[in-house]
Amino acid sequence: MEWEHIKLVEDFVSSADNQTDSDKSFHIVISDGEVLSIDDASPWRPLIGDEFQWLDITKIASHYLGSVHGIPIYCDEVDPDADEPQGYTFGTLWTFLGSVDEQTFNLIGKAKQIADWYQNHRFCGQCGKPTGDAEADRSRKCVDCGQMFYPRLSPSIIVLITRGEEVLLAKSVHAKGNFYSTLAGFVEPGESIEETVHREVMEEVGLKVKNLRYFKSQAWPFPNSLMLGFIADYDSGEINIQEEEIADAQWFNYKNMPNKPAMVSISGWLVDAYIKELESGTD
């Protein structure tokens, strides 16, 4: 089975329990948080078993991700000090954003998050003793006190605020490029998702919103977020930015938008969905 013939959205079966007996395999190789690419492979694909075997890099750990058509897919952590093999390049997760399709990016992100979790939970946070793999699911268990550790997910909200034909977009102080995006923030202990939306909007831009509508979600591996998307209507207030988080925030007419977020992100989906809604109402 050639990788380019695989439709991940239909064919990938996620699992932590490897019950396949195939003599074939796919490998997503990670070193020091970076993912390996084959230089002459476009679009990106994981290594097949023979390619991985001949890499000649020390393997630290291997994590089963699932399978496609009975062929197992592994995330393989290798020596973080290893040199790049000839014909291969290591790159950060950001280099894959927009350069691979959504399902492939999700699979690479899944591999990266599992590798990070494994590295961060080799020892128990309660007693300090080593942990081992649990048998029933994807978790780590302390060999001494029995404390369980599951891959970490951090729920967060992302919200597009609308005011008629205008949307509120903001530029983060941490943004790598000159583009505006929707507001986002992490859920705090004791909060509902809806309470998080109201708090984050007030903290970041000083506005009150109403009529929250759930849009959809996206796994966002920077580093381990689950983004829950909303559209909300402006209620009251004047823009007052949280300067340590927001460089600028403005109302933009949907016909005169700034550099928008990429369409591989839920932020881009939110903006695009609202523009299409407005345009369909003017037909």
Write a three-state SS string for 146-171.
Answer: CCEECCCCEEEEEEEEEECCEEEEEE
Domain count, the chain: 2
Of 95, 120, 145, the residue that ends a domain is 120
- Better-predicted residue by pLDDT, 110 or 2: 110
283: confidence class by pLDDT, cuts 50, 70, 90: very low
Residue 83 shares a structural domain with residue 194: no
Contact 242, 134 (CB under 8 A): no
d(CA 266, CA 182): 9
- Domain membership of residue 259 as a residue range: 154-281
Could you read off the pLDDT of 29-48 as tens digits, one per residue? 999 999 999 999 889 999 99
Which residue type, as a one-letter code, is found at position 118? Y
Furthest CA-CA distance within the chain: 67
23 domain residue, yes or no: yes
Taking phi first (over 0 means left), then psi (-120 to 50 degrees means alpha), and beta for anything else, what does residue 211 get? left
Element (H, E) at 29: strand 26-31
Is residue 127 in some structural domain?
no
Distance CA 42, CA 99 (A): 10
Q: What CATH number did the domain enclosing 60 receive?
A: 3.90.79
Whether residue 178 lies inside any domain: the answer is: yes
- In tens, the pLDDT along 40-99 reads 988 999 999 999 999 989 999 999 999 999 999 999 999 998 888 999 999 999 899 888
Domain identity same for 171 and 248: yes
Band of the pLDDT at 174, cuts 50, 70, 90? confident
Kindly report, residue by residue over 221-237, the tens digit of the pLDDT.
Answer: 988 999 999 999 999 99
The residue behind tokens 């796994």 is: 219
Say if residue 192 is in the same domain as residue 271: yes
CATH number, domain of 219, equals 3.90.79.10
